[in-house]
Amino acid sequence: MSVLVVGLSHSSAPVTTLERAVVSGDAQAKLLCDVHQSDSVAGSLVLSTCNRIEVYAEVDRFHGGVAAICELLARHSDLPLSELTGSAYVHYEDRAVQHLLAVACGLESMVVGESQILGQVRQAVKLARQHGTLSRELSDLSRLALRAGRRAHAETGIDAAGQSLVTLGLELAVGPPGRPGGEPVTLNGLDILVIGAGSMSSLAVATAVRQEARQVSVANRTPGRAERLAGRYGARAVGLADLPAELAASDLVITCTGAAGHVVTAAIVEQALERRSGRDPLVLLDLALPRDIEARAGKLPGVRLIDLEDVGAAGTADGRTLGSATLAGEADVRAVRQIVAHELAAYLRADRAASVAPTVVALRAKAATVVESELARLERRLGDLDPKTRREIAQTMGRIADKLLHGPTVRVKELAGSPGADSYETALRVLFELDPEAVQAVERADDELLEWALREATE
């Protein structure tokens, strides 16, 4: 079985395509389970964020796995198969492992270094565990990715440099139109409306309150969630039915919901504009995918609309300063890539060593069998041996076998991660005449044996 990832992201597809491909809520859980039930799949994990949809699977066949995942992605999204495959990317085995590590560390994000992706990976893993789709391989890989992400933010400056979509979006929203920069921006004195109550909306509310916005309001399709979020930060909860009036009273509107359709339509914005005579332009910051705000609303006089495409365009300029937010610089990115390389190398070494463990176990089992057989022959020739003598002879024969096998077993583990590793393992099986069925029996070993193999691989 091998790890496969099939996905679409901001780097491979335009927002208009991506917003039709992203799944969330019940649709994400259904896709997760359907992938897991495919013939060639032993485990599945679905990562769905505002700018990517990725399916990770443990598969026994590459082509069969790709075909099944692409078909299910098309079925659960709003994309025909031909359009999906034209924008999708595929990574397999070692490259798939490296990709997940890079994603968890923020290297593949629209804004390089943003920290929200780590929590999104964690949520994807939690969902897979809840539905029982996380195989042993994917579980180990998930732990590795989360550890790499934590290291990236703890050991490098990318956590401070890499801004979240909310932070960068705010820089674009309250700075001058076009290319932002210059004096640090502030939300002080602004009336801000946040639509949504998820993690990104929570970050937007917290940022607005921290920067002393004059008034912060929260609207959500579930009033209770809006009230809880507003209460946490001393903001005000409002109803979605009051959107025209709330937009009219706001300087900046930030949207990030999981709605399938537009939450803020051009008609709603037109109603709000009728009540805004003499005020500065209304700024709309849409951080949702699919988009919350109808594109036509941004073309109305007195409205400035910023969406993920605008944020992404700003977030791809490494090292550029945007007001008070500095994007990830080359030194931080290089340091995180080193962490990814280190974790990947350690994973591959353990994986290769574990792959030869059945051969090593079978070899030692055969040696133990030979020792017992020769000891039994010795007893028949010499007559009954007293327990102490038999024990001494058995220990001596065992030590001889261990010393003879020590070099070959250590060397095959060392060579496991090098080119031609399969041939070294094959040579060991041939030279010691190991029964293939005995090796295969070890490959179906229990957890205790697998833990032993991994421990042996690190010694």
Residues with catalytic roles: 50
Q: Rounded to whole angstroms, how far apart are CA atoms 162 and 36?
A: 34
How far is CA 239 from each of CA 102, 193, 196, 215, 247, rounded to the nearest angstrom?
40, 11, 11, 16, 12
Strand partners for 7: 54, 89
- CA contacts within 13 A on the Cβ side of 339: 29
Q: Which of 205, 199, 239 is nearest to 219 (CA)?
A: 239
Angstrom distance (rounded) from CA 184 to CA 168: 12
Q: 52-59 and 41-49: which strand pairing?
A: antiparallel
For residues 70-87, one letter each, b for 16 or more C-beta atoms within 10 angstroms of the residue's C-beta and e for the rest, the string is: bebbbebbebeeebbbeb
